[in-house]
A = this chain, B = another copy of it.
Amino acid sequence: MNDSGKLCLHSITTRPWSIEEAAGKYSAAGIRWISVWRDALEGRNPGSINRMLQDEGLGVASLVRGGFFASADRMKRVEAIEDNIRAMEEAAALKAPLLVLVCGADPTQSLEDSRDQIREGIAALLPMAGELGIKLGIEPLHPMYADTRSAISTLKQANDLVVLMESALVGVVVDVYHLWWDPDLEVEIRRCGELNKLFAFHICDWKVPTEDMLNDREIMGKGCIPVARIRQWVQEAGFQGPVEVEIFSKHYWSRDQDSYLKEIIEAYKHRS
């Protein structure tokens, strides 16, 4: 049985709850960690949210999400960098040590061009990231998102990219949903650990059948991903951080969030 001390919830997992309500509920359920989505901060002061979360006994694992660097339109690339700078400032105020990057892709250009722009975009953030002490986590996304969301589809690509970036601030976010199918996953998780680049670990499950490409994720143990096995690889690679539950699901969002939260905690303890 997993001790719940490392359980972290992404605010989007219980999307119907405001960040204040989520914090109260998570805390009451014995959860100690939260990753905050930027939409949950809307109209709020990130510094005040940090104090509210501290009062609830919640540490902030990461701010989610920056990125979307790739575009054939140069102005959009500049705007993306500006938006990522704002995200890093929010992360600093929120005392989130990590900004998760969904790197982006533009279907009107080649994946190679998108990858070049991703490298340039991350490089442009490094001076400010250093000043603010914010780490940047490249999250490879499932190949079904290679059209518009991420030209980085495998852990090998993310590892290769962080090696190329040569910055202590740039690492990788491993999410079982995106990577479970990859025959190289175990090897690349080990490599990521050896590089000391495994910055965060996200879990959920793959629903069978999946009916919506974006918002139909499953609770751990109810799909086909060997979550516990991948978690073991991640821990053997030296990762000791929080284990983050990130579920997008129209189905669960439409249900009672209290019983859903209980189900997540049970699944975390016994099937993760």
A157-B144 contact given A107-B223, A224-B107, CB 8 Å threshold: no
Q: How far is the CA of A209 from the CA of B105 in the complex (A)?
A: 13
The answer to whether the Cβ of A267 comes within 8 Å of any Cβ in the partner chain is: no
26 contacts between A and B (CB under 8 A): A107-B206, A107-B208, A107-B223, A108-B224, A110-B226, A142-B143, A142-B144, A143-B143, A143-B181, A143-B182, A144-B210, A144-B213, A146-B180, A146-B181, A147-B206, A147-B208, A147-B210, A147-B223, A147-B224, A148-B209, A153-B182, A153-B183, A154-B183, A156-B183, A157-B183, A210-B213
The answer to whether the Cβ of A169 comes within 8 Å of any Cβ in the partner chain is: no
Name the 5 nearest CB pairs between A and B, nearest first: A107-B224, A146-B181, A144-B144, A143-B181, A107-B208
Q: Which residues of B contact A142 (CB under 8 A)?
A: 143-144
Closest to A216 in B: B213
Q: What's the minimum C-beta distance from A178 to chain B, rounded to whole angstroms?
A: 9
Q: How far is the CA of A183 from the CA of B148 in the complex (A)?
A: 16
Q: How far is the CA of A180 from the CA of B223 in the complex (A)?
A: 26
Instruction: Determine if B226 and A148 form an interchain contact, defined as CB atoms under 8 angstroms apart.
Output: no
Q: Which residues of B contact A143 (CB under 8 A)?
A: 142-144, 181-182
Q: Which residues of B contact A110 (CB under 8 A)?
A: 226
Using a CB-CB cutoff of 8 Å, which residues 224-247 of chain A contact chain B? 224, 226
Q: How far is the CA of A143 from the CA of B206 in the complex (A)?
A: 12
Instruction: Determine if B153 and A181 form an interchain contact, defined as CB atoms under 8 angstroms apart.
Output: yes
Q: Which residues of B contact A181 (CB under 8 A)?
A: 111, 143, 146, 153
New A-B contacts (12) at CB < 8 Å, excluding given A146-B180, A146-B181:
A107-B208, A107-B223, A107-B224, A108-B224, A111-B183, A144-B210, A144-B213, A147-B206, A148-B208, A148-B209, A153-B183, A210-B213
